[in-house]
């Protein structure tokens, strides 16, 4: 099993295709928390699909100020059809060429199968990994860990803000 990047590590930058003519880089989202959800492939059975579930929880992620990005090695046209079929309201990034390079940089690539692990990262507004989780093979992770991490991050930011405020006062 892969060893994924741990909390405290600077999140490796990337620039990946979202559609045939649009790209998205991690630095575009600097200043707010980002959820990276690596998953093996589009089109897993609907009712148990991780992206379908996260799509339902999207308002709660956004309420915590976070952006959600799904990443797999599927091509942009597969992503487009999949997103349309499942009514997804967040970007799916295509780690297609060179295949799995971004997943590999996060330690979230299954070399033997040539697909992404089911691995989750919450990255803070400064581009540092705040929380990461690698799901056991065959088990789809829920959204509970992500929400708890986002809340902890939000509480920490508030405390930091207070500490900064008091040091200025002193």
Partner 1 sequence: MARLKVPVTPHDHIRGPADAPVTLIEYGDYECPYCGAGDEMIRELQKHFPGRLRSVFRHFPLYEVHLNAEAAGQAAEFAAAHGRFWEMHESLYQNQERLGLPLLFELAKDLGLPEAELRRVLDTGEYAPKIRDEARGGVRSGVNGTPTFFIDERRFDGPLTFDGFVAAIEARLDPKPSLWSRWLGRRT
Q: Which residues are catalytic?
A: 47
Interacting stretch for partner 1, rule CB under 8 A, among 25-33, 72-80, 137-145, 152-160?
137-145
Of residues 11-40, those binding partner 1 (CB under 8 A): none
Q: What Å distances lie between residue 11 and 70, 78, 120, CA to CA?
A: 16, 26, 12
Q: What Å distances lie between residue 94 and 53, 61, 99, 101, 145, CA to CA?
A: 20, 22, 9, 10, 24
- Closest CB to partner 1 among 114 and 142? 142
Verify binding: residue 49, partner 1, rule CB under 8 A. yes
Burial of residue 161, with CB atoms counted within 10 A of its CB: 0-12 exposed, 13-18 middle, 19 or more buried: exposed
Verify binding: residue 132, partner 1, rule CB under 8 A. no
Size of the site for partner 1 (CB under 8 A): 23
User: Which residues would be at the binding site for partner 1 (CB under 8 A)?
Assistant: 46-50, 52-53, 55-57, 60, 86-89, 139-145, 147
């Amino acid at each position: 099993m892969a060893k994924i990047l741990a909390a405290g590590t600077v999140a490796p930058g990337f620039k990946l295709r979202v559609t045939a003519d649009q790209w998205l880089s991690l630095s575009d989202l600097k200043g707010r928390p980002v959820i990276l959800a690596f998953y093996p492939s589009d089109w897993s059975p609907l009712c148990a699909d991780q992206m379908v579930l996260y799509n339902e929880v999207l308002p709660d992620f956004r309420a915590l100020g976070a952006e959600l990005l799904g990443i797999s090695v599927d091509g942009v046209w597969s992503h487009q059809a999949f997103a349309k079929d499942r009514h997804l309201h967040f970007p799916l990034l295509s780690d297609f060429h060179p295949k799995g390079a971004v997943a590999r940089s996060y330690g979230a690539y299954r070399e033997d199968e040539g697909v992404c692990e089911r691995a989750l990262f919450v990255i803070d507004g400064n581009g540092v990994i705040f929380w990461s989780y690698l799901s056991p093979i065959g088990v789809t992770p829920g959204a509970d860990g992500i929400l708890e991490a986002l809340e902890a991050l939000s509480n920490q930011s508030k405390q930091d803000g207070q500490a900064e405020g008091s040091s200025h006062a002193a």
